Structure 1
Amino acid sequence: MSELNRKTSAAPGVLQRIETPAGTVEYAEDGEGPPVVFLHGLLMDHAVWDDVIPLLPNGFRYIRPILPLGSHRIPLNEDAVLSMDGMVGLVADILDALDLRDVTLVHSDWGGSLFLTSLGRDERVARMVVLPCEAFENFPPGLPGKMATLAVRLPGGITLAARQLRVGWLRRLPVLWGWMVDKPVDDERIRRWTDPVLRDPRIRRDVTKYATTSFDPAELVRKTEALRGFGGEVLVLWSPDNRVMPPAHGPRLAELAPRGRYAEIPGAAVLSMLDEPQAVAREIGAFLTAATRG
């Protein structure tokens, strides 16, 4: 792989960059060994995993790309296709650019990457961990997702929504983050996640491309159910108490995958890595070490 595509000399925690057909993507990398790639949702970045990464076992390469979902700091190419299929393709392109193989892919909140199998782009993925995320017909997810979709379709709506997230009592409303996380999210982290979309119209352009995608429920279900063709191990690590991603979707996803297993993180909302980082790290760590022993 060309050194133009990847930097490998940065210290842990320092963002690196890769080039994809859609543009430059930043990522964080920690550790060495088999690759584990962590994804994230709308208006957040790799830092959503900060409390989990230090608790995971050594001997793995933990990679956290920043997807163009509103908290990315480098706008993608103006002609980048960021529809649902475009975003799924971008995830595959990131794995290609990093030349990753035998990947454990960790899904959370944004569920589009579940569609890699339906698009025939999952050849680099050997295993999956699925935290509460969009699936089946639940795109956009629940009340927060529907309100976010409405916001991006209104003039100035995404800017207003980002500013509201910065106000603690507003952030805790169900239409914003009240149903996404149970524990308080610190203001510094929220400012980091909302700065790009407030500062740069090109960032707003990118996230609007995705958020204004039209979804066909039947097609969403079909693409989710294509996981029947995924041959790797799958750990579905659901939060049954959350009110955004239906509790029934967790067991349903685990049953779809031929080698699926279901486990729960009780007492957490959608973003269980923020609510219960130790439990999430324990389950993911056990899954990773069992896979390497096998």
Structure 2
Amino acid sequence: MQRKQQTGLPIRYADRGEGPVLVLLHGFVGSADYWERVVPMLEGHFRCIVPDLLGHGESEAPTGPYTIEQLADGVLKLLDGLDIEQAVLLGHSMGGYTALSFAERYLERLRAFGLVHSMPLPDDEAGKEKRTAVAERVLREGTKPFVEQSAPNWFAPNAAARMPAELDRVLQIGYDTKPEGAAGAALAMRERPDRGHVIRESQLPILLIAGSEDGIAPPEKAFAAENAHTSKFVIEGSGHMSLFEAPQELARHIASFAESL
């Protein structure tokens, strides 16, 4: 997905289509390219802004640790730089944590928001230890060994073997993540707080999408907080990567939600 950078903006991004603005945020060791199979099905009706978050893709990757708030502030600066007053903000995995931080502090800039294979819950102590271990590993070994070991597990059980092209694309995107960026973002996720209240207290429409076979953010965690304005969908047979496993169904849910606004 072709990306560009405007002078003074901290992140690179894709800007595709015309219409109401959708901002789509990728997950850990991903990039705007995570959305490359979904955006073509949305850009006929929406303007899709798809950034490389701090430390990822072609955006800057300073030495960390980062905070989730930093990632969200980068999105705010991007919207300001593009003169976008309001948008629908959706985040995959780590991008969902970023979307919640944004909604907690800049709600007036949103028409709606949502999480795709993400959750409002914080890491438990074991999870925090794993984040620390990931950060140390990628700085020691580079990003490639971590991605090669982890990426197959992001798909539904046995799905990666059935989808070699999709897995290879996820691997290639992950390889391009700089070690400093991966480490900084892992430590940001480690320190994120519980943001269930952002969903429970919001008066804006909220979209929550989970995969029935997601071992990272299963439906019970993805739907841990909701309210009367929440739309929930489970993509049957999908793991953590419906952007590659079921892009048409994911795009359909997003389009239906955004059009309902």
Q: What TM-score does the superposition give when structure 1 sets the normalisation length? A: 0.74
CA distance in 2, matches of 1:179, 1:226: 29
**What secondary structure is seen at the aligned counterpart in 1 of 2:208?**
strand
Once the two structures are TM-superposed, the CA of residue 155 in structure 1 deviates from its matched residue by: 7.5
- The match for 2:33 is 47
Which one of 238, 242, 245 corresponds to residue 210 of structure 2? 238
Gaps of 5+ in 2: none
Q: Does 1:187 align with 2:175?
A: no
**What secondary structure is seen at the aligned counterpart in 1 of 2:113?**
strand
Question: In angstroms, what is the RMSD of aligned CA positions?
Answer: 2.9
Q: Does 1:126 align with 2:111?
A: yes
- The match for 2:6 is 18
Whether the 8 Å contact between 1:36 and 1:62 is mirrored in structure 2 is yes
Q: Does 1:250 align with 2:222?
A: yes
- The match for 1:212 is 187
Whether the 8 Å contact between 1:134 and 1:141 is mirrored in structure 2 is no
Whether the 8 Å contact between 2:52 and 2:59 is mirrored in structure 1 is no
Which one of 68, 84, 102 corresponds to residue 54 of structure 2? 68
Q: What TM-score does the superposition give when structure 2 sets the normalisation length? A: 0.83
Q: How many residues align?
A: 252
Gaps of 5+ in 1: 1-12, 166-170, 198-203
Once the two structures are TM-superposed, the CA of residue 267 in structure 1 deviates from its matched residue by: 0.4
**What secondary structure is seen at the aligned counterpart in 1 of 2:33?**
helix
The higher radius of gyration belongs to 1
**What secondary structure is seen at the aligned counterpart in 2 of 1:36?**
strand
Residue 116 of structure 1 aligns with an amino acid whose one-letter code is: F
Whether the 8 Å contact between 2:119 and 2:221 is mirrored in structure 1 is no
Report the CA distance shift for 1:157/1:266 in structure 2 as closer, same or farther (over 3 A): farther
Equivalent residue runs for 1:1-294 within 5 Å: 13-19=1-7, 24-56=10-42, 58-69=44-55, 71-76=56-61, 82-110=66-94, 111-118=97-104, 120-138=105-123, 147=130, 149-154=132-137, 156-157=139-140, 159=142, 161-163=143-145, 165=147, 171=148, 176-181=150-155, 182-183=159-160, 184=163, 185-187=166-168, 190-197=171-178, 204-213=179-188, 215=190, 220-221=193-194, 223-253=195-225, 255-256=226-227, 258-291=228-261
Deviations 1:205-253 (CA, angstroms, capped at 9, x unpaired): 343333234846xx722x3322233221112111132111132123333
Residue 231 of structure 1 aligns with an amino acid whose one-letter code is: Q
Whether the 8 Å contact between 2:24 and 2:48 is mirrored in structure 1 is yes
Report the CA distance shift for 1:163/1:107 in structure 2 as closer, same or farther (over 3 A): same
